[in-house]
Amino acid sequence: MRRRDLLSLAALAPALSGRRAAAQERTERAARGMPSPKIKDVSVIATQPGGVRLVVVKITTDQDGLYGYGCATFTQRADLVVPAIEKYLKPFLVGKPADRIEDTWQACYDSSYWKNGPVLNNAISGVDQALWDIKGRQAGMPVYQLLGGKCREAAATYTSVSGADTAQVIEGAKRAMSQGYKHVRLQVGVPGMSAYAAGGGQADRPKALHDRPVFEPKAYILRAVKMLHEARAALGAEVELLHDIHERVSPREAVQFAKDVEDVKLFYLEDALSPEDLTYFRQIREQCNTALAMGELFNSPHEWMPLISERLIDYIRIHISQAGGLTPCRKVAILCEQFGVKTAWHGPGDVSPIGHACNLHLDLASYNFGVQEGGIIRGVEAEIFKGVPTYKDGYLWANDSPGWGIEVDEKLAAKYPFRPGRDGLNGGWGDVRRLDGTVIKQ
Ligand code: MG
């Protein structure tokens, strides 16, 4: 180096050193003013105030009064999610920063090496949503503000109407519409059979080669297609109608079903296919214009990426905790926007109120929001989870308190422990079979 250059550097050195010192001082001042919280404890609230088992993670930090809640509810295997949190994620996380959500999610996701299963994803979701809650409480903002703020004042929600026959379904839909619902899901029962979300009335169970609940796809298809046409005629063109096949028919039957109800102009047809048969969505797309929703059983990007990027569905139905929480699902929402797919996050009774709040905050902040299932919490559950979303005239409203805006009465939750459940299955589902004894997907 030439002497002149060395002299220039020597002249600059005090200035550089001064700038570095000032930056250091700013960092230290910021750190003194708002120190990074550390994870002090990770605990589980396991409660069953209603029919389903709810699992919620609580993360407490080393800062007084700074904590958060996240939904980890996989009600059919709830007892397995609890040790995944307590025995694996808790020791992995205690002492780590509570304000690095993305980094924490990636570290947890990778820490099992094998991943993308519902038990581990739910455990991670509990942690992830609790960290978003903490971030909101730190900022003094609801989570939807952290996501960019509201795109709309409230989120349209739908209710599910079921009946043993078409007349009951139409009657129920009219009642829902009078309560302000602009979207109504219609499900009809099949006499003597265990159809999804609808009883079969007083009819005798058909003769079968076994003693388990029965279901025959053909009987259901004939009844459901007829019901949807008659309901549209009775309810008018304006109300948005939805229907869930719940993956109960074969791929070939699903393609035909979507074609047969094209004139009904459904808001969407849900779960026409099972995750094992996703490639058949292309055939439905090629043959009709029925809007399609899919995804409540998805756990992995390998499942949702092809459907979104090839524009094979219209609504993504992921169950946010099953996919690992808000962190991955806000990315899915943004991905969907680029491909013209809207969101319709799964929100039945087996999502905890924290999970419902997460759904709603993402609904409010996503431009490509479609519709929200469920989210109306009443009774003891609303007493345990104070601050749950409220319903008015077909819309769900979030409160504006920081984080999810929900405080959990943990003492009250403890009064409702898990119960053994029907047939002692600990929340697991029983089997449903065709007349000959073949198991069907539920
Ligand atoms: Mg469904």
Q: What is the mean pLDDT of residues 140-155?
A: 98
Q: How far apart are CA 43 and CA 404, in angstroms?
A: 18
Residue 236, token pair as written in the block:
């008018």
Q: What is the mean pLDDT of residues 311-338?
A: 98
Q: Are residues 160 and 11 in the same domain?
A: no
Distance 419 CA to ligand 1 centre (A): 25
Q: Are residues 93 and 208 in the same domain?
A: no
In a domain, 423, yes or no: no
Q: Of 116, 141, 166, which marks where a domain is finished?
A: 141
Distance 181 CA to ligand 1 centre (A): 19
Amino acid at 54: L
In a domain, 432, yes or no: no
Q: How far is CA 284 from CA 279, 336, 337, 359, in A?
A: 10, 20, 22, 28
Q: What is the mean pLDDT of residues 101-109?
A: 98
Distance 268 CA to ligand 1 centre (A): 11
CA gyration radius for the chain? Answer: 25
Q: Are residues 132 and 258 in the same domain?
A: no
What is the model's pLDDT at position 74? 97
Residue 357 · residue 388 · CB < 8 Å:
yes
What is the model's pLDDT at position 190? 95
Q: Output 48 or 29, whichever has higher pLDDT.
A: 48
Query: How, if at all, do strands 240-244 and 183-188 pair?
Result: parallel
In a domain, 26, yes or no: yes
Q: How far apart are CA 29 and CA 413, in angstroms?
A: 41
In a domain, 424, yes or no: no
Q: Of 141, 171, 201, which marks where a domain is finished?
A: 141
Q: Are residues 44 and 168 in the same domain?
A: no
In a domain, 188, yes or no: yes
Within 8 A by CB and 6+ apart from 391, the residues are 157, 375, 376, 397
Residue 290 · residue 254 · CB < 8 Å:
no
DSSP code of 402? S
Q: Are residues 85 and 193 in the same domain?
A: no
Distance 104 CA to ligand 1 centre (A): 30
Report every protein residue that has its C-beta within 5 angstroms of ion ligand 1. 244, 270-271, 296
Domain, as residue range, for 7: 3-141
SS3 382: helix
Q: Are residues 358 and 231 in the same domain?
A: yes
What's the total number of domains in the chain?
Answer: 2
**pTM for the full model?**
0.91
Of 243, 246, 346, 361, which is the active-site residue?
246
What is the model's pLDDT at position 422? 74
Round the average pLDDT of the chain to a whole number and report it: 93
Q: For residue 21, what pLDDT band results from cuts at 50, 70 and 90?
A: low
Distance 301 CA to ligand 1 centre (A): 19
Distance 304 CA to ligand 1 centre (A): 15
Q: How far apart are CA 288 and CA 196, in angstroms?
A: 24
What is the model's pLDDT at position 203? 87
Q: Are residues 326 and 281 in the same domain?
A: yes
Q: Are residues 105 and 196 in the same domain?
A: no
Q: What phi and psi values does residue 254 have, to the nearest 5 degrees? A: -65, -40
Give the bridge partners for 372, in sequence order. 157
Q: What is the pLDDT of residues 267-276, one digit of tens each?
A: 999 999 999 9
Q: What is the pLDDT of residues 189-221, one digit of tens each?
A: 999 999 988 888 888 899 999 999 999 999 999
Residue 26, token pair as written in the block:
């700013």
Which residue is listed with tokens 């214009």? 289
**313 pLDDT exceeds 60?**
yes
**298 pLDDT exceeds 70?**
yes
What is the model's pLDDT at position 26? 39
**76 pLDDT exceeds 60?**
yes
Q: Of 141, 165, 189, which marks where a domain is finished?
A: 141
What is the model's pLDDT at position 34? 67
Q: How far apart are CA 428 and CA 106, in angstroms?
A: 30
Residue 106, token pair as written in the block:
């990636």
Nearest to 327 by CA among 177, 189, 131, 137: 131
In a domain, 428, yes or no: no
Q: What is the number of H-type helices and E-type strands within the chain?
A: 15, 15
Residue % of the chain over a pLDDT of 90: 87
Of 158, 181, 196, 280, which is the active-site residue?
196
Residue 91, token pair as written in the block:
């020791």
In a domain, 426, yes or no: no
Residue 382 · residue 391 · CB < 8 Å:
no
Instruction: Output the domain CATH number for residue 164.
Output: 3.20.20.120
Q: What is the pLDDT of residues 381-409, one digit of tens each?
A: 999 999 999 999 999 999 999 999 999 99
Q: Judging by beta carbons within 10 Å of its beta carbon (0-12, 13-18, 19+), is residue 401 exposed, middle or buried? A: middle
In a domain, 221, yes or no: yes
Instruction: Output the domain CATH number for residue 22.
Output: 3.30.390.10
Neighbours of 121 (CB within 10 A): 29
Q: Are residues 116 and 178 in the same domain?
A: no
Distance 328 CA to ligand 1 centre (A): 20
Distance 340 CA to ligand 1 centre (A): 21
Residue 216 · residue 242 · CB < 8 Å:
no
| 88 catalytically annotated | no
Distance 138 CA to ligand 1 centre (A): 35
Dihedral (Cα; 292, 297, 301, 305), 10-degree rounding: -10
| 109 catalytically annotated | no
Q: Are residues 137 and 150 in the same domain?
A: no
Q: Output 49 or 25, whichever has higher pLDDT.
A: 49
Q: Are residues 366 and 298 in the same domain?
A: yes
Q: Are residues 100 and 192 in the same domain?
A: no
